[in-house]
Amino acid sequence: MHTRAAGTQQIELRKYNSDLQLIWSKLLGNQFENKLLHLFEDRNGNILVSAVSNGYGQEDYSLSLHKTWFPFFTLLDASANVLWETFQSEYTDAGVSAAGGSV
């Protein structure tokens, strides 16, 4: 697993096989500044991402008068499909979305 901050300040996850061939690449976060905190992989290959964003859940960053970091978590399956995401921001106490809709 390889991670890096892409030019858009999003978090980019990449998975390679043993021959260093790219299997998949996934961008997480939004158009604002995002920081990866923790990355966990379980025995089934599911990946839990713990991160913070200074604008997650906001459509207009100019609405925020100060830079505040809000946590968000994303669970991906072994193929990088989003199973669920949760976030907190100034404008929502918490939000959870799942692949099939809201939870």
Q: Where are the domains of the chain?
A: 2-102
- Walk along the chain (103 residues) and give the pLDDT tens digit of each residue: 444 544 457 889 999 999 999 999 999 887 778 889 999 999 999 999 999 887 655 555 555 555 677 888 999 999 999 999 887 765 544 444 455 544 4
With H, G, I as helix, E, B as strand and everything else as coil, classify residue 79: coil
For the chain, helix, strand, coil in percent to 5 are 5, 50, 50
Residue 23 backbone class (left: φ over 0; alpha: ψ -120 to 50; beta: rest): alpha
Q: Would you say 21 and 6 are in contact if contact means Cβ atoms under 8 Å apart?
A: no
Task: State the number of CA atoms in the 13 A half-sphere of 84 facing the CB.
Answer: 8
- Prediction pTM value: 0.69
Q: Would you say 23 and 15 are in contact if contact means Cβ atoms under 8 Å apart?
A: yes
